[in-house]
């Protein structure tokens, strides 16, 4: 896979800051096994204030058509396995700002007991996990039937994207540890508990569907690569909703 850092637009060139940004992108490429092969920096005073920056990038790769995982073979009885997130990741920050900074009156320097003494800003800016190294051995072993990246829209909108018509995901609440930041968000924003699963990843960044006979093998492969995994539930016939959270 190749990563193109399309551009960094800014009101004023700050070499020290740009160095940090590019270093972060390069670290992400290492985690993803991708090469950083292009990019530019554009100074655009008048369009951006001196302390404003806009970064855009994209990745592209190739795969054998026969090896593409499209969820078409997912069937009733398949097991759902979740890979943990590292935090809020990159989605839901409009609500994060409203709940924590506007409604609760916190700042990025606020220290909460629930977050083990870490500053709130540091917890919110925990880098998003890149799952390439965790997933690659599973793809090579041929155990993955479907994959859902839990981004904006949480479980409710993302998990159904990998599931064929007529089927649904049954997910057992309590089968994985919800990260403390989500409890803080729910309380500060007075957000309905079930609605949280329609907004945030709630501690699970990736959901896999595997054959029931391959569930143990999948968990063993994850463990052998120092990756955590949780059995979340299974695929069932759809009766009402696309995702059953119980």
pLDDT tens column, 14-58? 888 878 888 888 899 999 988 888 777 788 888 888 888 888 888
pLDDT of residue 17: 81
Rounded to whole angstroms, how far apart are CA atoms 186 and 199? 11
Q: What is the pTM of this model?
A: 0.89
Rounded to whole angstroms, how far apart are CA atoms 12 and 21? 15
pLDDT of residue 211: 97
pLDDT of residue 54: 85
pLDDT of residue 176: 97
Rounded to whole angstroms, how far apart are CA atoms 70 and 154? 20
Contact 40, 74 (CB under 8 A): no
pLDDT of residue 50: 82
Rounded to whole angstroms, how far apart are CA atoms 89 and 104? 21
Give span(s): CATH 3.90.650.10, the chain: 79-245
Question: Which regions in the chain score pLDDT beneath 70?
Answer: none
pLDDT of residue 151: 94
pLDDT of residue 123: 97
pLDDT of residue 226: 95
Coil, strand or helix at 101 = helix
* HSE value, Cβ hemisphere, 13 Å, CA-based, for 170: 14
pLDDT of residue 13: 78
pLDDT of residue 122: 96
- The correct CATH number of 79-245 out of 3.30.365.10, 3.40.50.12780, 3.90.650.10, 3.30.70.260 is 3.90.650.10
Class of the CATH domain delimited by 2-62: alpha beta
Give span(s): CATH 3.30.1330.10, the chain: 2-62
Coil, strand or helix at 167 = strand
* HSE value, Cβ hemisphere, 13 Å, CA-based, for 224: 10
Coil, strand or helix at 213 = helix
pLDDT of residue 183: 97
């Amino acid at each position: 896979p190749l990563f193109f850092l399309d551009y960094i637009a800014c009101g004023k060139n700050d070499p020290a800051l740009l160095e940090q940004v590019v270093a972060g992108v390069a670290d992400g490429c290492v985690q993803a096994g991708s090469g950083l092969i292009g990019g530019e920096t554009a100074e655009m005073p008048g369009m951006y204030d001196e302390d404003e920056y806009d970064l855009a990038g994209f990745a592209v790769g190739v795969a054998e058509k026969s090896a593409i995982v499209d969820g078409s073979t997912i069937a009733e009885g398949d097991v759902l396995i979740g890979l943990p997130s590292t935090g809020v990741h990159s989605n839901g920050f409009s609500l994060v700002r409203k709940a924590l900074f506007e409604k609760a009156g916190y700042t990025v320097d606020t220290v909460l007991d629930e977050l083990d003494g870490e500053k709130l800003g540091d917890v919110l800016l925990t880098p998003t996990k890149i799952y390439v190294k965790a997933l690659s051995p599973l793809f090579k072993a041929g155990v993955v039937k479907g994959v859902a990246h839990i981004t904006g829209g949480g479980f409710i909108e993302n998990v159904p994207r990998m599931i064929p018509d007529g089927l649904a995901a049954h997910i057992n609440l309590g089968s994985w540890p919800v990260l403390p930041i989500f409890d803080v968000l729910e309380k500060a924003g007075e957000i309905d508990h079930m609605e949280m699963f329609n907004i945030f990843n709630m501690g699970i960044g990736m959901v896999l569907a595997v054959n029931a006979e391959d569930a143990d093998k999948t968990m063993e492969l994850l463990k052998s690569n120092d990756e955590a995994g949780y059995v979340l539930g299974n695929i069932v016939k759809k009766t009402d909703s696309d995702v059953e959270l119980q």
